[in-house]
Amino acid sequence: MGFMSISRVIRLPSRSFFLFGPRGTGKSTWLEESLKKIPIFNLLKTSTFLELSKNPGLLEAKIGNLPVGSWVCIDEVQKVPQILDEVHRLIELKKWRFALSGSSARKLKKESANLLGGRALTLHMEPFSYIELGKLFRLKEILEWGCLPLIVLNRQDAREILRSYIFTYIKEEIKQEGLVRKVEPFLRFLEIAGILNGQQVNAENIARDAHIPRSNVDVYFSILEDTLLGHWLPAYRPQAKVREVAHPKFYWFDFGVARGAAGFLDDPLDELMLGVSLETYFFHELRVYNLGYKKNRSLFFYKNNNNQEIDFVIETKKRTMTTQSEVVLIEVKSSKKWDRKWENSMRSLAETQKVKVRKMIGVYQGTESYFFDEVEVYPVEIFLKKLYAGDVY
């Protein structure tokens, strides 16, 4: 099956837009397929980059005489942030529509780039999701290698593709963009960040293990976040009587990439790593659903000082002066048998009555669905079907 025979969640807007996503998630392919026979300026191409970085004003001449409403695509726009001033002018003057893709927001932020003041929507593209894969969905392979498009369509070469992905990221995003002064300390951090995927972040411990200054840890994590390789999952604090733990977790956008960064591509995955992989994958699916279906709900994890933990807390309604916040609680386990003790943390939070718990859901790798006194338990694929059907939130 070819790349573009897999339909993506995002849909082409009617107006200009930014399309952000990590490298290798299929942005360029989707743009080429969605906007056929239009001018495409790829700033990864050296000649195009040099020409437009020296003189962004050449963009209009290179586009030519197009009718009002015509589309123009600029790929990897973050490489020449100043071109956005020219894009802004052409949207106003020529009434052209621009599709602007990027794999990093760091340079745009650093140079205070013109983000078009509401004249462009913002879309996000992630690795393949359950709803996109359809019959190609293979949970076991996803948990081992992730769901980047090249990996899904070339499973036999997964190990080498991921090894190359890490090398390309270091070469292109770090060295060429000059995001760090010295690459070696960042490489040590990258390996530890891969190992700690899905865990709470203790910056002091990471600094000690990577032999880097404490201040570098924050900078390095911001690089991963700005280049869209990872996302924070903050701790939920419902103001219950028991004091909650506040340190956030950091999840890589794809477990296969995290595995490559950690240096584990040649090692078999143990039960602990498979559990982390399943959590990483679930965070990915929740994010795709949240963004792609425009739910825009805040996602958290919960943990208190009694080590009661809930993998995901979805805040479906924020607390006001007169009403409680409303949440959906999800506990994810890689086991093929459901143990009812895994329900305790969800029930305990619900009993505080500091939040209104709309649903408590357990997800596992078994085959049976259960209903235990307000706790719904589903196999992975059944849960994902319910998620994309809108039955979870």
3-state SS, 47-104, equals HHHHHHHHCCCHHHHHHCCCCCCCEEEEECHHHCCCHHHHHHHHHHHHCCEEEEEECC
> Which residue, among 227, 157, 242, has the nearest Cα to 193 in the 3D structure?
227
Q: What does the alpha-carbon distance between residue 282 and residue 266 come to, in Å, rounded to a whole number? A: 24
The mean pLDDT values, 10 residues at a time, for the chain of 393 residues are: 74 95 94 92 94 96 96 95 94 96 81 73 96 96 97 96 91 74 91 97 95 95 93 86 74 98 96 97 98 95 89 95 93 98 96 93 98 97 98 97
If you ran DSSP here, which 8-state letter would residue 135 be given?
G
Q: What are the residues facing 359 on neighbouring strands? A: 328
Upper half-sphere CA count for residue 282 (Cβ side, 13 Å): 31
Q: What does the alpha-carbon distance between residue 306 and residue 253 come to, in Å, rounded to a whole number? A: 29
283 and 251 Cβ atoms separated by less than 8 Å:
yes
Q: What pLDDT sits at residue 112?
A: 59
Coil, helix or strand for 364?
Answer: strand
Q: What pLDDT sits at residue 14?
A: 95
CATH of domain 3-125: 3.40.50.300
List the alpha helices (DSSP H) in 169-253: 183-195, 203-210, 214-226
Q: Where are the domains of the chain?
A: 3-125, 131-388
User: Residue 37 is inside which H or E element, if any?
Assistant: none
Q: What is the token pair recorded at 4?
A: 């573009």
End-to-end CA distance of the chain: 32
Coil, helix or strand for 199?
Answer: strand
Residues 6 or more apart in contact with residue 290 via CB below 8 angstroms:
296, 297, 299
If you ran DSSP here, which 8-state letter would residue 245 be given?
P
Residues 6 or more apart in contact with residue 117 via CB below 8 angstroms:
88
Q: What does the alpha-carbon distance between residue 369 and residue 63 come to, in Å, rounded to a whole number? A: 56
Q: What is the token pair recorded at 182?
A: 């010295």
Rg, C-alpha atoms of the chain = 22
Q: What does the alpha-carbon distance between residue 264 and residue 250 come to, in Å, rounded to a whole number? A: 18
Q: What does the alpha-carbon distance between residue 129 and residue 282 come to, in Å, rounded to a whole number? A: 10
pTM confidence score: 0.92
